Amino acid sequence: MLFKTFFKVCLLMALFSLISCMQNDSKNINVAAAASLQGILDDLILNYETKYEENINVNYAGSYTLTSQINRGLVTDVFIPAGIIPVNRINRQFDIQPFISNKLVLISPDKNDLEWDIDGLKQYDRIAIADPNFSPAGEYSIQALNALDDKRDLHTRLVYAKDVSAALLYVKKGLADLGIVYFTDSIDDNEIFTNDVIPEDTYSKIQYPIVTFSNNLNQTNHLINYLFQQESLIIIKEKGFKIHD
């Protein structure tokens, strides 16, 4: 009899604990964001969590990888990809609004006079870009290269990284001679040199929309409103992003 009573008490305690955990999880905001946003979102989210005592879970990866994970059931309240194409691949209902934009630059490990020119690029054997199968940054890079090199001679020199952050790391670690990355990835990095801004008319506009889903709407809207507050916009501009007009 005593054993049965003890067992029931333990079962009730476990049940209450499970309910408590489920409630706590429901209070968390789950964000999936392009890898190129980590530098800025880490700051914005830390400020938000400190100011409002909220918990936010963030998953950074290539935008196409995140889209695939969301379609397979990844719990996501907010999705901020690097481009519109990943959004078009989502198989769930969602709302979307414009947020910020970016641009491409050519980087190298050391300071030099290299510009965005086909003859100059041909002097190097390894050019790191994000893999276009997993990241829109790779697609933008291919578009820019194709506009410069209609014979596709540079394609044999490409080194594919899982995302744009990895492409930058390849250059820093000496695994590539040059890299094509987002301007915002290079702006505060003292270990690489930004050679040139790639003409923005050679690739699709790099937009970061905010995609929201139907769960946790009140908390989600509160977070999004914070991202457009003046204190957030100052940080966004300092990091090199352009606010959507």
CATH number for position 148: 3.40.190.10
- 83 inside domain: yes
Q: How far is residue 131's CA from residue 143's CA, in Å, rounded to a whole number?
A: 13
User: For residue 121, what pLDDT is reported?
Assistant: 96
- 206, 101 in Cβ contact below 8 A? yes
User: For residue 93, what pLDDT is reported?
Assistant: 93
Claim to verify: residue 108 and residue 198 sit in the same structural domain: yes
User: For residue 14, what pLDDT is reported?
Assistant: 43
Claim to verify: residue 109 and residue 194 sit in the same structural domain: yes
| This prediction's pTM | 0.81
Claim to verify: residue 193 and residue 218 sit in the same structural domain: no
Claim to verify: residue 65 and residue 186 sit in the same structural domain: no
User: For residue 245, what pLDDT is reported?
Assistant: 65
- 13 inside domain: no
What's the total number of domains in the chain?
A: 2
Claim to verify: residue 110 and residue 191 sit in the same structural domain: yes
Residue 226 structural domain: 28-102+206-243
User: For residue 74, what pLDDT is reported?
Assistant: 95
| Residue 202: exposure state from Cβ atoms within 10 A (0-12, 13-18, ≥19) | middle
3-state class (DSSP) for residue 207? strand
**What stretches in the chain show pLDDT beneath 50?**
2-3, 5-25
Claim to verify: residue 238 and residue 214 sit in the same structural domain: yes
Token readout for 38 is 């980590």
3-state class (DSSP) for residue 78? strand
- 9 inside domain: no
- 23 inside domain: no
240: left (phi > 0), else alpha (psi -120 to 50), else beta? left
Claim to verify: residue 239 and residue 164 sit in the same structural domain: no
